[in-house]
Amino acid sequence: MNKAIFPGSFDPITLGHVDIINRGITLFDEVIIAIGENSSKNYMFSLEERIAFIKTTFKDNPKVSVVSYSGLTIDFCKAIGVEFILRGLRNPADFEFEKAIAHTNRHLSTLETVFLLTSAKTSFISSSIVREIIRYDGDYKKLVPDAVRTK
């Protein structure tokens, strides 16, 4: 069974993330959305809220699950028996950043990283942009799945 993790903070999950996950489940038997815990980050949404957003968004898809973890992604993958990391790329800057991480992970483990380009209609969306719009009471609802729209 080919499983992949899709790691990130998902603060909050966006339609860009949903696009990558939906396309990822056509490639893998299971996609595990792995929310990394980073003690140096200040999150807008609690871990419990982020997990709930994801569970609600994918409640009808048994090929998608969500977990949280701390520590190195490669150690987490080894612990749960996952050999693939799924990542989305929006632009050349994302590619350069993600390429360095993928090379490092590959050097330190046997993990393979699979990159998917975001669709043109979601390539401009990022969680940081969504958070900024929310902070200033802007209309963020076209950028996130229904589960987040209730916030």
| Cβ-proximal residues to 3 (8 Å cutoff; 6+ apart), any chain | 28, 29, 30, 31, 32, 81, 82, 83, 84
Which positions are catalytic? Answer: 17, 41, 90, 127
3-state secondary structure 32-92: EEEEECCCCCCCCCCHHHHHHHHHHHCCCCCCEEEEEECCCHHHHHHHHCCCEEEEEECCH
Q: What are the structure tokens assigned to 91, written together?
A: 């632009």
For the CA atoms of 8, 9, 10, 12, the dihedral, rounded to the nearest 10 degrees, stands at: -160
Q: Which two tokens stand for residue 133?
A: 């719009």
Strand partners for 5: 32, 85
